[in-house]
C-alpha cells in the first residue's frame, strides 16, 4: 500500500509517520520500535546492488537492500527496496548474503537455524530538502533463515523519482535522496505469528506430534488427541490385553505409542482398519460425541474381565437424578441414571453457568397439569433433574446444531457462548447425594479446570474440527490441527471459540466455535494426569519397529520397480485375433476373444538401449532369431500405423521411446519376416468374410510397389475378391489393377472381401465398417429389486454387475428400440416376447437406478456412446411395453406390523388411477382377503415423519412420491374414527401421528404410524396401548421415553400418568418415541460403527 502527497505527515516527522504508516495490530504486543534513515548523497554512483549501513533493532542486525535500476529484468526501470536481516547464527562481522533475487537463495541456509523475528515496517523514499515529497510503503513479515529480506520489487519508477510530477519536488533531487525504515518488532508468544509453515516440525517446535487426515477424519483426530492427553485413559488402554494385532485395542495402543515417540505425524489408517472402516468411511465426517460414545462402548467391552475393568466409569461417568417432588406432601418419584457426557443448550444462553441452570431448571406441575402421586392423588409438584455427582473428566457437548423445519435442514448455531478456565459446579449438585457428602467430608470441592476445547469451524456441510489442549496441569495450551501442532494463546482457547459476532463486522457471526469441552476436577488432577512415566506393552516397540522394517523393504521394492517401465508388444498373434478397426484392440473389452488382440506387456529397464531391446523381445516371444521392431504411433487423424526403428536409434534408451509414441507406454510391432527393400512396402492384410460376417487379421506381407494390387496379393485372394483400403474408421474400395506404389505406403491396411453374399446383414465391407463404428457390447443382467428408503436413509445399492454372469449382446447404437429388444430376446433365449422386454442402462455405483429406455422408435445413440461394454438391466413384463409405459409404478412399503420386516412392492396402476384403485391392486399383489381391503390405509413419510395421509378419492399422481409411500391395515377403532370423520358416528376419539427419534427430535428413524387417542383416557392407559401397537415386551418398551413433540423442536417428555393426551395435545403436535435406532442410522448421516 503506498501513500503520496496530500494531507499527509512530513517524512522527517517520525511520530506522525509512525502513527500513519505503522498502525498497531490488535492483540499484538510491541517488542521494540526503531527508525533508521539512510542518507544517499550520490545516487548516480550507486552500484547495481547497494547496501545501507547496519543498524540494530529488537536484538537483531538489519540493513536496507537497494536496487537503483530494479531487481532483475522484470523490474528494470523501477526502484527495488528491501529490509534485510542478518542470520543470527553468523557473527556480526560476517557479510550479509548476496542475492540477485531476495527470498530465493537464502532458502539454502542451514535447516538447523531456528531463529525468527516478526517485524512490521514501512519504507519511505523522500527528498531531504522537501520532506513533503515522498513515497511510503508498509508491510509485515516473519524473518527467518529462509527469508531474510522482504520489501518491494516495484517501489516506484526511477523516472518518476527523478521528476517532480504532481509532488512538491522530485524524490531524488541534486543526486540526493533519503530512505527511512520505520520498524516495529512484534512479540510472538506462540511462535507461529505470520508463519508460512514451510518445513514446520511440530515435534521439534512443541514436543508433540499430530495425526494425518485421511480425507475427512479431522473429527477423529481431535477426539484421539483429547483422549491421548487424558493420561489415565491412555494408561488404561495400555493395560488392556491386546490380543489380535488387528483389534481396536491394538490399534489404539499402537497409535498412542507413536504419538509419544514418532518425530513425524502419525497415520491413523491402522486404527480405522481395526474399526472396520473403508475408504468411504474415511471421507465421511461424523459427530465427535457419537464417536466418543461408540468408542467407549467398544473399549468397555474389551476391559471386562481384565485388571482395568470399570476404569472408564471411574474416569468419565457421573450420575444425575430425574425427579418429581410434590410441594405440599412428602412424596418424590426419582430415577438415578449414569451419564458419560452432558449436552448443554447454546441458543439463548449467555454462558456455561446459564446453560447448567437451564439444564436443572424445575418445572412446576400445577392446575390441569398436576401430578398424580401414589396415595396422595393429584398434587402440585416440581419436576426436573439434578446432578448426583460429576466425573473426574467431564465431557460437555455444546448443542451447536438444531433442525430448521422451515428450511428442512440442520443448521449451526453460531451464537456467543462463554465458558471459563475454572468451573465451579457445586450449585448444580444434590446436597443429599452420597457423592456430595463424601466429597464434603474429604474437603474436596467440585471445582474443574479446563483441559480441552474441541472446535468446529464452518457449517454442517463443510466444516473442520481441531482441538485445543493443555497436556500438563500447569503447562501451556496447544492447538492440535490434524498433522500440525502449535502453541496457542488464551485468546485462541477462549475468546476465539465463544462464537458470536466478529469484531467490527456489522452482525456477521463467527463460523468457528467450541463444540465440546473437557474439564478435569482439580482435586483429581494427579489421578487424571499422573506425573509418572507411561508403561506401554513391552512387545509394542519391537512390533512397530518390525512394521517399519517391512515398510522400508516395500519402499525399496517400489523404488526398484521405478527403474523399470512397460512397453507393449504387438505381433501377428494379436493381429490374427483382432476383429475390429486398426491393428489391435487398445482398451480392455469384455470377452476373452477380444482381449487376446490386445498388445502384450513387457517390463524392461528404463535405461536399456534400444539396440539391446531386440534380444529382450526375442527372448520374451520365444524366437530363435532377432525380429525387426517398428514403433506404432499416430499418423493422420490419430490412425495408428508403424514406423521402423532404424540403426541410428540403437543408442537411445527405451525411456526415450515414450516421447516418440502415443500414450504412456510405447507400442512396438514385432515383425518376424526379415528384409526391407526400397521398392517394397509392408502392408497388413485383413479378410472380411461376408457370409460369416467376420473380420480377421490375416498376415503382414512385403509387396512390390511396381506390381498391380491383385498380383501383389494373389496368395490371399481369388478372382472375385474385392480390395479395400482401411482409412481411419472407414474403408475405400481399390482397383485391383492399380499399382501398389500409387496407393499404399508401409503400414497401410488392406481388407479383402470374400464369400460375397448379397443377402447378408452387411453385404459389403463398407457397411460392415459402418456397423463397427457404432458397435457396442451390451451385458444383459436381470433388473434387481431396488429397496426404496425410509425417509432419509440411502436406498439399498443395486447388486454389482460383476457378481452376476451377464448375457453378452453385440449390437449397433443405430438400431431402434424395437430391433434392440428383438436381438436382446434372442440373446437371452427362452420364450421371451420382445414387445414385453423393458431395458435400463445400469447405474454407476454412486447413481440411483436410471430411467428405463423408451419405446418411442428412436435409436440408442444417447445411451450407447457413453460406455462400452455397457451393463443393461432387463425385465420381462406381463404386458406389452407400449401399454406399460402408459402406467405408473408406485413404490409402496407394506407394513404388516411393527415387529415384522416391511415389504417393498412396485404397484402398477394407470396414470389416472385413484388411491382406491391403487389399494385394490396392492391388495391383489398381497392376496389380502376381500374383507380387509377397506381397512387398507396409505400415507407418505418424509424424514421418518408422516406428512400426508391418503384418501381413497385422491389421484395417485397428485400424492405419489419416489420414496416414503407406506401402507398397512387400519385397526378397527381407526376405521371407525375415519368413518366418524365422514359424519357416520360421533367423534369421541382423535387421530395423531407417532414417530421415532433418538435423543433429538430431528434425529428420526423407523416407520411412523397413526394412533387413536381416546377422550378422558389417562396417559398410563395410552402408554399401554402404544406398547401393544408396537408389539414390544415390558423390558424393551421401558427403554422408550414418550414425548409430545411440537414445531419447531419443542419436546415435552410425558411423566404424569394421569395426563389426558386427547385434551393436552395441540392440533399440530405428534407423539415422539425416544429410543435408540437399532439400524444405526442418524438423520442425514450414517451412524458410526466400530466393529
Q: How far apart are CA 309 and CA 302, in angstroms?
A: 9
Q: State how far the Cα of 683 lies from the Cα of 698, in Å rounded to an integer.
A: 11
What is the H or E stretch that residue 772 is in? helix 765-773
Using CA atoms of 281, 287, 291, 293 in order, give the dihedral in degrees to the nearest 10: -150
How far is it, in rounded angstroms, from Cα 607 to Cα 1048? 71
Contact 375, 323 (CB under 8 A): no
Q: Residue 55: in which H helix or E strand, if any?
A: strand 55-57
CA distances (Å), origin 401, targets 343, 347, 514, 1002: 11, 9, 12, 10
Distance, CA of 275 to chain centre: 18
Radius of gyration of the chain (CA): 41
Helices (H), 569-621: 572-577, 592-595, 610-621
410 neighbors 417 (Cβ within 8 angstroms) = no
Only one residue has cell 523522500, namely: 126
> 218, 943, 1005, 1083: which is the annotated catalytic residue?
218
Distance CA 732, CA 749 (A): 11
Distance CA 585, CA 597 (A): 6
| Backbone torsion region of residue 871, taken as left when φ is above 0, otherwise alpha when ψ lies between -120 and 50, otherwise beta | beta
What Cα–Cα distance (Å) separates residue 981 from each residue in 52, 974, 984, 991?
96, 10, 7, 10
Runs of H (alpha helix) within 268-350: 269-275, 279-282, 288-303, 311-316
- In our burial notation (b when 16+ CB lie closer than 10 A, e otherwise), range 135-162 reads bbbbebbbbbbbbbbbbbbbbbebebbb
What torsion, rounded to 10 degrees, do the Cα atoms 166, 169, 174, 179 define?
-90
Structure-block grid coordinates of residue 375: 396415595
From 286, 372, 395, 464, active-site residue:
464
Helices (H), 212-351: 218-228, 231-238, 248-261, 269-275, 279-282, 288-303, 311-316
Determine contact, residues 452/467, Cβ cutoff 8 Å: yes
Q: How far is residue 863's CA from residue 842's CA, in Å, rounded to a whole number?
A: 11
Beta strands in 624-693 (DSSP E): 628-634, 640-644, 667-671, 680-689
Characterise 500 by phi-psi region: left (phi > 0), alpha (psi -120 to 50), beta (else): left
* Unique residue bearing C-alpha cell 457449517: 459
1005 is catalytic: no
Please report which residue ranges of 422-534 form alpha helices under DSSP H: 434-442, 490-493, 525-528
Give me the phi and psi of 776, to 5 degrees please: -135, 150
DSSP assignment of 155-205, as one string? EEEHHHHHS-TTSSS-SSBTTBEEEEEEEEEE--TTS-TT---TT--HHHH
First to last CA, the chain: 58
Q: What is the DSSP letter of 989?
A: E
For 160, residues 6+ apart whose C-beta sits below 8 A from its C-beta are 171
Give the residue from 948, 946, 1010, 1009 showing the smallest Cα distance to 978.
1010
Query: Is 464 among the catalytic positions?
Result: yes
Catalytic residues: 218, 464
Amino acid at each position: 500500500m503506498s501513500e503520496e502527497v496530500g494531507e499527509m505527515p512530513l517524512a522527517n516527522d517520525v511520530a506522525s509517520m509512525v502513527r500513519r504508516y505503522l498502525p498497531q495490530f490488535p492483540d499484538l504486543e510491541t517488542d521494540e520500535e526503531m527508525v533508521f534513515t539512510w542518507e544517499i548523497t550520490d545516487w548516480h554512483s550507486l552500484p547495481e546492488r547497494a547496501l545501507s549501513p547496519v543498524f540494530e533493532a529488537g536484538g537483531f542486525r538489519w540493513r536496507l537492500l537497494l536496487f537503483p535500476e530494479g531487481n532483475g529484468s522484470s523490474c528494470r526501470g523501477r526502484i527495488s527496496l528491501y529490509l534485510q536481516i542478518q542470520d543470527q547464527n553468523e557473527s556480526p562481522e560476517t557479510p550479509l548474503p548476496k542475492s540477485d533475487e531476495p527470498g530465493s537463495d537464502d532458502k539454502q541456509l542451514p535447516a538447523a537455524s531456528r531463529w525468527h523475528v516478526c517485524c512490521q515496517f514501512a519504507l519511505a523514499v523522500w527528498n531531504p530538502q522537501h520532506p513533503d515529497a515522498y513515497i511510503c510503503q508498509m508491510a509485515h513479515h516473519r524473518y527467518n533463515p529462509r527469508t531474510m529480506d522482504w520489501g518491494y520489487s516495484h517501489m516506484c519508477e526511477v523516472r518518476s523519482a527523478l521528476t517532480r510530477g504532481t509532488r512538491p519536488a522530485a524524490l531524488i533531487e541534486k543526486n540526493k535522496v533519503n530512505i527511512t525504515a520505520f520498524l516495529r518488532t512484534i512479540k510472538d508468544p506462540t511462535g507461529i505469528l505470520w508463519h508460512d509453515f514451510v518445513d514446520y516440525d511440530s515435534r521439534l517446535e512443541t514436543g508433540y506430534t499430530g495425526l494425518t487426515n485421511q480425507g475427512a477424519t479431522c473429527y477423529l483426530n481431535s477426539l484421539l488427541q483429547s483422549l491421548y492427553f487424558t493420561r489415565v485413559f491412555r494408561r488404561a488402554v495400555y493395560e488392556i490385553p491386546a490380543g489380535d494385532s488387528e483389534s481396536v485395542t491394538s490399534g489404539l495402543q499402537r497409535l498412542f505409542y507413536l504419538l509419544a515417540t514418532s518425530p513425524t505425524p502419525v497415520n491413523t489408517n491402522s486404527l480405522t482398519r481395526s474399526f472396520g472402516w473403508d475408504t468411504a468411511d474415511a471421507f465421511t465426517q461424523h459427530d465427535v460425541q457419537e464417536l466418543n460414545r461408540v468408542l467407549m462402548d467398544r473399549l468397555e467391552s474389551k476391559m471386562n474381565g481384565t485388571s482395568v475393568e470399570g476404569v472408564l466409569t471411574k474416569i468419565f461417568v457421573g450420575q444425575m437424578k430425574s425427579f418429581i417432588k410434590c410441594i405440599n406432601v412428602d412424596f418424590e418419584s426419582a430415577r438415578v441414571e449414569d451419564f458419560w457426557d452432558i449436552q448443554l443448550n447454546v441458543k439463548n444462553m449467555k454462558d456455561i453457568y446459564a446453560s447448567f441452570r437451564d439444564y436443572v431448571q424445575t418445572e412446576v406441575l400445577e392446575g390441569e397439569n398436576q401430578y398424580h402421586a401414589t396415595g396422595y392423588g393429584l398434587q402440585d409438584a416440581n419436576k426436573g433433574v439434578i446432578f448426583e455427582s460429576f466425573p473426574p473428566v467431564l465431557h460437555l457437548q455444546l448443542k451447536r446444531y438444531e433442525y430448521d423445519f422451515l428450511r428442512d435442514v440442520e443448521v449451526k448455531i453460531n451464537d456467543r457462548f462463554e465458558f471459563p478456565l475454572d468451573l465451579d459446579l457445586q450449585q448444580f449438585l444434590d446436597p443429599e447425594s452420597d457423592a456430595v457428602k463424601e466429597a464434603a467430608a474429604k474437603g474436596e470441592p467440585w471445582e474443574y479446570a479446563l483441559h480441552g476445547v474441541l472446535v468446529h469451524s464452518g457449517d454442517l456441510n463443510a466444516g473442520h474440527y481441531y482441538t485445543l489442549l493443555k497436556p500438563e496441569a500447569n503447562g501451556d495450551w496447544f492447538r492440535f490441527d490434524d498433522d500440525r501442532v502449535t502453541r496457542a494463546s488464551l485468546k485462541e482457547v477462549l475468546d476465539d471459540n465463544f462464537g458470536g459476532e466478529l469484531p467490527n463486522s456489522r452482525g456477521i457471526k463467527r463460523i468457528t466455535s467450541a463444540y465440546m469441552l473437557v474439564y478435569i476436577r482439580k482435586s483429581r488432577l494427579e489421578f487424571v494426569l499422573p506425573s509418572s512415566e507411561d508403561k506401554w506393552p513391552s512387545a509394542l516397540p519391537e512390533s512397530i519397529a518390525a512394521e517399519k522394517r517391512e515398510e522400508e523393504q516395500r519402499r525399496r521394492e517400489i523404488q526398484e520397480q521405478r527403474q523399470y517401465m512397460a512397453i507393449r508388444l504387438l505381433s501377428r498373434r494379436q493381429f490374427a485375433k483382432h476383429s475390429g478397426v486398426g491393428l489391435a484392440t487398445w482398451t480392455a473389452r469384455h470377452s476373452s476373444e477380444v482381449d487376446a488382440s490386445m498388445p502384450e506387456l513387457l517390463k524392461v529397464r528404463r535405461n536399456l538401449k534400444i539396440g539391446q531391446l531386440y534380444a529382450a523381445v526375442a527372448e520374451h516371444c520365444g524366437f530363435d532369431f532377432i525380429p525387426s521392431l517398428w514403433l506404432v504411433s499416430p499418423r493422420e487423424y490419430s490412425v495408428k500405423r508403424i514406423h521402423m526403428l532404424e540403426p541410428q536409434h540403437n543408442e537411445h534408451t527405451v525411456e526415450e521411446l515414450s516421447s516418440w509414441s502415443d500414450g504412456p507406454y510405447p507400442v512396438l510391432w514385432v515383425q518376424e519376416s526379415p528384409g526391407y527393400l526400397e521398392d517394397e512396402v509392408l502392408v497388413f492384410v485383413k479378410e472380411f468374410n461376408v457370409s460369416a460376417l467376420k473380420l480377421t487379421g490375416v498376415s503382414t506381407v512385403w509387396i512390390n510397389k511396381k506390381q498391380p494390387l491383385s498380383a501383389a496379393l494373389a496368395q490371399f485372394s481369388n478372382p472375385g475378391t474385392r480390395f479395400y483400403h482401411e482409412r481411419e474408421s472407414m474403408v475405400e474400395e481399390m482397383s485391383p489393377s492399380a499399382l501398389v506404389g500409387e496407393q499404399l505406403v508401409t503400414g497401410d491396411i488392406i481388407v479383402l472381401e470374400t464369400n460375397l453374399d448379397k443377402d447378408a446383414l452387411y453385404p459389403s465391407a463398407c457397411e460392415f465398417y459402418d456397423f463397427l463404428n457404432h458397435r457396442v457390447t451390451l451385458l444383459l443382467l436381470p433388473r434387481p429389486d431396488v429397496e426404496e428408503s425410509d425417509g432419509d436413509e440411502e436406498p439399498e445399492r443395486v447388486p454389482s454387475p460383476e457378481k452376476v454372469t451377464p448375457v453378452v449382446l453385440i449390437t449397433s447404437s443405430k438400431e431402434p428400440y424395437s430391433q434392440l429388444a428383438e436381438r436382446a430376446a434372442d440373446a437371452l433365449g427362452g420364450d421371451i416376447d420382445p414387445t414385453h422386454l423393458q431395458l435400463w442402462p445400469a447405474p454407476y455405483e454412486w447413481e440411483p437406478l436410471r430411467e428405463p429406455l423408451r419405446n418411442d422408435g428412436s435409436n440408442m445413440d444417447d445411451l450407447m456412446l457413453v460406455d462400452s461394454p455397457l451393463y443393461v438391466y432387463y425385465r420381462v413384463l406381463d404386458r406389452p411395453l407400449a401399454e406399460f409405459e402408459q402406467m405408473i409404478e408406485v413404490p409402496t412399503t407394506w407394513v404388516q406390523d411393527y415387529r415384522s420386516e416391511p415389504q417393498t412392492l412396485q404397484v402398477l396402476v394407470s396414470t389416472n388411477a385413484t388411491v382406491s384403485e391403487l389399494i385394490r391392486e396392492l391388495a391383489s399383489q398381497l392376496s389380502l382377503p376381500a374383507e380387509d381391503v377397506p381397512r387398507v390405509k396409505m400415507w407418505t413419510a418424509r424424514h421418518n415423519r408422516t406428512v400426508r395421509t391418503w384418501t381413497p378419492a385422491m389421484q395417485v399422481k397428485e400424492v405419489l412420491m419416489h420414496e416414503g409411500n407406506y401402507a398397512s391395515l387400519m385397526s378397527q377403532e381407526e376405521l371407525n374414527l375415519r368413518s366418524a370423520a365422514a359424519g357416520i358416528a360421533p367423534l369421541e376419539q382423535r387421530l395423531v401421528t407417532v414417530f421415532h427419534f433418538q435423543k433429538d427430535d430431528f434425529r428420526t428413524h423407523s416407520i411412523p404410524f397413526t394412533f387413536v387417542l381416546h377422550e378422558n383416557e389417562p396417559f398410563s392407559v395410552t402408554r399401554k396401548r402404544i406398547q401393544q401397537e408396537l408389539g414390544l415386551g415390558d423390558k424393551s418398551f421401558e427403554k422408550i421415553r414418550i414425548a409430545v413433540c411440537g414445531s419447531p423442536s419443542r419436546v415435552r417428555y410425558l411423566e404424569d400418568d394421569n395426563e389426558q393426551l386427547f385434551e393436552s395435545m395441540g392440533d399440530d403436535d405428534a407423539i415422539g418415541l425416544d429410543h435408540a435406532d437399532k439400524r444405526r442410522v442418524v438423520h442425514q448421516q450414517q451412524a458410526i460403527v466400530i466393529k
